[in-house]
Chain A
Amino acid sequence: MEPAIIIENLSKQFKKGATNAPYLSLRDVITKAFQKKTKNEAESLFWALKDINLQIEPGERIGIIGRNGAGKSTLLKIISRITPPTKGRVIFEGRVASLLEVGTGFHPELTGRENIYLNGSILGLQKAEITKKLDEIIDFSGVENFIDTPLKHYSSGMELRLAFSVAAHLEPEILLIDEVLAVGDIEFQKKCLGKMEEVSQKEGRTILFVSHNLEAVLKLCDKGLWLKSGKVKMYDDIDKVVSAYIDDSNEEATFKYAGKNDFSKAICILEGWIKASNTIPNMVEVGEPLIIQMKIAVNEIKKFSFEVLIRDSRREPLLFLPVGLAHGKEHTLSKGEYVVTITTMLPFLTKDRYFIDLITADTNKSYIHYLESAVYFEMGGKVLESTNFEYTANQRMGKILLTEAIKVEINEL
């Protein structure tokens, strides 16, 4: 049987900084034309994907993992033909659909029925196909009473159900899912995952699944593709890829951001580490404070605050520390480099490894510099010396242990 997708030497080059101002003004171009070409021009190009070679067999479910910026979403965008590759090629047979496209082109003024036709047609269905499946789509959506009402009168939940119903009847040969970019509520994401399970197991379609949720990837995929800085780091059975990925992330736990100041970030985090309170590096015992330290460079004088997100070993977000909020104020510092110490008392966490996102954010709560899983620490798991009780993950007791502020009342009936 022929492979479902063949990827040959696929590369994609981007201009750095192009994300900040996606479109140009004519003035920029004119002024640039009069400036001498600098070396920076060549340096500002980078490869989002570099020489990817893959063969994906029909029916395989590939989980694509890697850090932010590793090229995962770019790969999906190229396969769905939204953006062209710089080099190389992709060959596949049949229809590609992505669950990102749910509801694309919905128009509030049109009725539910009209939107089914419009959306279906944008997603690549023929009019005759839509007519054939119309009853099924309306049935599945559960909004049959409002099907001839303009979409603007729908609740957002109804709109989502209708959108999903159209997407669910696409029956593509290849399904792309980018959970990282998937907006919408948890229920919607769950529905996507549920649909994905159904599609892959019952219908045997080829699936590419991008996610940070390693648990979901392990559950749903049979092979793993690990991308690192635009290159294939590993392509193997999902278990092997995930465990190698976790190991690799752990090694990088004491973190240096490219070792130098990035002047495009107003407040740049240069280094981050956990201040060891005992001899074992990155070890935090229960009852001890967690001390996060980082070196920052202030390149621009503006109000900002710190935020810290703690993830579990599967990289699922676990705890959020809005440092700025708790602190009650934002910082304004003059230009220069600083060492920042953030100290907090954690609740009792299960004995495991945890990752920390270091974030500087501005007053509008938009990120200035976001470093995902920049540093890690280990929880020891000892709750109380006296009881010798060790709180570990395999005891099926959740991830957080609460020992204080528990009140028990027993009343005789």
Chain B
Amino acid sequence: MKATRTVIEPQSNFSLRLHELWQYRELFYFFTWRDIKVKYKQTYLGILWSIIQPLFLMLLFTLVFARHFSPVSNSIDYKSFVLSALILWTLFYSATSHAAESIITQVSIIKKIYFPRLIIIGSAILTALFDFFVAFIIFLLFCIFFRQHISWQAIFLFPAGILMILLSAFGIGSLLAALNVKFRDFRYALPFLLQLLFFSSQVVYPLKDIEQPWLKQALSLNPVNGAIEIFRGALTLEFDLQVIFTGLFMAIVLCISGLIYFRKTEAYFADLA
């Protein structure tokens, strides 16, 4: 094996150092593998937990709200309407919260050894994505069982919605994770922020029912709304392009700013944490 040359210098120019991330790809895999493995050790239901929560919430929301919002649309009933959004929200929720907490919970490793810290964020999100796929499969079975129509456009609509969620979760997660190292305030702000995002997302209610245009515009700044719009579009084939593009714009802005801030501060994590 040829020895690689390493040069340690003060951080000067901003760089994404993607090459380095590629070098550490195995660690990325091992962190994700560990998180998934540890998460379901000593549980009886194991991976089923990833769907139990959205299913029960769906049941509750359907019982309470269904008559207020029905008919939501001709092509979808309320329970599919809620469940499709809930599994996507659960992905966003667990990816964001795990990513935001990830750096401070792994501080003992960070203080002892070097690797690109972005791997920790990435594997937190990948772990959430793994859970999502289990829930997603059950969601598909659910749709078949209740004869919920899924259009063929789902082939690209589903991945697009998921991707948008991942971009947003990565952006917010990496930003909060880096801020958390320096200011522990963000640790306490996180549950509040997620709650705020949940109630401003069109999980329980359809966004199109909102009458005030300014409120609708404000709500579409929440990128989760755009993602749900795309994802649920595979069932309804109704799209509000303004919601989608505002959300997409926000997702990209969040992703880039999170990435830049994280990359700029990560070298000092060991000093500050």
Contacts and interface: CB of A to CB of B under 8 A. Distances in A.
Nearest to B9: A89
Contacts of A80: 113-114
B267 interface: yes
Given A83-B271, A110-B34, A24 B6 contact: no
A82 B113 contact: yes
A100 B112 contact: yes
A24 B184 CA distance: 7
Contact of B184 (A23, A82, A150): A23
Interface in B32-54: 34, 37-38, 41-42
The secondary-structure label for the interface of chain A is: mixed
Interface string B11-46: 100000000000000110010001001100110000
Contact of B30 (A85, A122, A173): A122
B109 A122 contact: yes
B142 interface: no
Given A22-B272, A110-B38, A91 B5 contact: yes
Contact of A79 (B3, B8, B268): B8
Interface stretch (A39-47, A113-121, A291-299): A113-121
Nearest to B6: A92
A118 B184 CA distance: 29
Contact of B181 (A23, A78, A92): A23
Most buried by B among A27, A80, A126: A80
A195 B107 CA distance: 27
A109 interface: yes
A82 B111 contact: yes
B167 to A, nearest CB: 27
Given A89-B9, A121-B26, A25 B270 contact: no
Nearest to B184: A23
A369 interface: no
- For chain A, the bracket of interface size reads 35 or more
Contacts of B113: 80, 82, 101, 104, 122-123
Nearest to B189: A26
A399 interface: no
Interface in A130-181: 150, 173
B216 interface: no
A91 B111 CA distance: 21
B267 A84 contact: yes
Given A122-B27, A122-B115, A123-B113, A82 B183 contact: no
Contacts of B38: 107, 109-110
A91 B41 CA distance: 43
A198 interface: no
Given A26-B185, A81-B114, A82-B113, A94 B272 contact: no
A16 interface: no
B54 to A, nearest CB: 25
A252 interface: no
Contacts of B114: 80-82
B7 A89 contact: yes
A114 B8 CA distance: 32
B270 to A, nearest CB: 5
Interface in B82-140: 108-115
A93 B2 CA distance: 9
Contacts of B109: 104-105, 122
Contacts of A368: none
A117 B30 contact: yes
Interface string B234-273: 0000000000000000000000000000000001101111
Contacts of A413: none
Nearest to A181: B112
A84 B11 CA distance: 7
A345 interface: no
Nearest to A7: B8
Interface of B: 3-11, 26-27, 30, 34, 37-38, 41-42, 108-115, 181-185, 267-268, 270-273
Give the 6 A-B CB pairs with smallest separation, nearest first: A81-B114, A94-B3, A90-B8, A26-B185, A84-B267, A121-B30
24 contacts: A26-B183, A77-B270, A79-B8, A82-B110, A82-B270, A84-B8, A84-B11, A85-B9, A88-B9, A89-B9, A90-B6, A90-B8, A92-B6, A93-B5, A93-B6, A96-B6, A101-B112, A104-B113, A107-B34, A109-B42, A114-B34, A122-B27, A122-B115, A150-B41
